[in-house]
Amino acid sequence: MPIPRSPEQSASPRELVRERVYAQLREAILSGVLLPGERLDEGELRAWLGVSGTPIRQALHTLSLEGLVDTAPQSHSAVIAPRPEEAHDTLQTLGVLVVGATILTLPQLGDADRAALAELAAAVTVQQERGDIPSISKAAENYFGSLVRLCPNPVLNEVIAQAAPSLGYHVNVTYRALDADLAQLARDYTALSAALLVEDDARAIDLTKRIFSIGTARAA
């Protein structure tokens, strides 16, 4: 396992060591520093993070509950390797959360927020046309992340905050299995941007469902 460079920062006096270790490992997984299937050797992690084994094991346990680490009793831990055959189901699961936030958020948006979201949706179209998958994912995350932050339901916001990073990671790793039509996605995001500006919320919700393949069958 290659050891990433330790961040040039220290925890605040009140920050628990296990929280810092968890945050560093989680970010390393989500950013691709630690690769899917990569073994997480406790000794190497101790050397990298400069802590004892206890907070590392605590962090790995939490990450396993979040679906980012695969652990087995009396065995090694590893970054989870998402299964391509589950890509469609995972995309739909993430979509159900996002569509719910969309339904709750759009009716209470003011003109400024609508315009900002429309601009972010249009930015996804630009990346779709370029075909740059990492940039497409980042632009889509910017749009949906901004929408969720405007959602008036704090319980749903908390559920999304806990579940979306892992679900998004699984989708990003297995995106090739989705066989996405980038041209169609570009058209959908263009239409979504337009729907937001004219306050056609029903259209925006339907487009969001289509983006996440909700209401479509899994390809054979």
pLDDT digits (tens, 9 = 90+) for 164-197: 989 999 998 998 888 888 889 999 999 999 999 9
- The confidence band for 220, taking pLDDT boundaries of 50, 70 and 90, is very low
- The highest-confidence range among 45-59, 68-82, 83-97, 121-135, by mean pLDDT, is 83-97
User: Average pLDDT in the 35-56 region?
Assistant: 91
Residue with tokens 């500006």: 197
Determine the residue type at 82: P
Q: Given phi > 0 = left and psi -120 to 50 = alpha, else beta, which region is 83?
A: beta
pTM of the model: 0.81
Tokens of 168: 């998004």
Q: In this predicted structure, what is the pLDDT of residue 132? A: 78
34 vs 14, residue with greater confidence: 34
Q: In this predicted structure, what is the pLDDT of residue 215? A: 82
What is the full DSSP assignment across 56-109?
HHHHHHHHHHTTSEE--TTS-EEE----GGGHHHHHHHHHHHHHHHHHHHGGG-
Q: Could you say which architecture CATH assigns to the domain 84-211?
A: Up-down Bundle (1.20)
- The confidence band for 14, taking pLDDT boundaries of 50, 70 and 90, is very low
- The highest-confidence range among 104-118, 169-183, 203-217, by mean pLDDT, is 104-118
Q: How far apart are CA 138 and CA 174, in angstroms?
A: 16
Return phi, psi of residue 5, to 5°: -70, 135
pLDDT digits (tens, 9 = 90+) for 121-149: 999 999 988 877 788 889 999 999 999 99
Q: Could you say which architecture CATH assigns to the domain 17-79?
A: Orthogonal Bundle (1.10)
Helix (H) or strand (E) holding 39: strand 39-40
- The confidence band for 155, taking pLDDT boundaries of 50, 70 and 90, is very high
Return phi, psi of residue 62, to 5°: -65, -45
- Side-chain half-sphere CA neighbours of 24 within 13 A: 24
Q: In this predicted structure, what is the pLDDT of residue 4? A: 52
Q: Given phi > 0 = left and psi -120 to 50 = alpha, else beta, which region is 216?
A: beta
DSSP 3-state assignment of 43? helix
**Any idea where the domains of the chain sit in the sequence?**
17-79, 84-211
Q: In this predicted structure, what is the pLDDT of residue 15? A: 58
Q: How far apart are CA 109 and CA 106, in angstroms?
A: 5
Q: In this predicted structure, what is the pLDDT of residue 170? A: 92
Fold agreement between 17-79 and 84-211:
no
Quick one: DSSP state of residue 179? -
What percentage of the chain has pLDDT greater than the value 70?
A: 90
Poorest-confidence range of 32-36, 47-51, 59-63, 70-74? 70-74
CA dihedral 97, 102, 104, 105 (to 10 degrees): 130
Average pLDDT over the chain, rounded to whole?
88
73 vs 166, residue with greater confidence: 166
205 vs 73, residue with greater confidence: 205
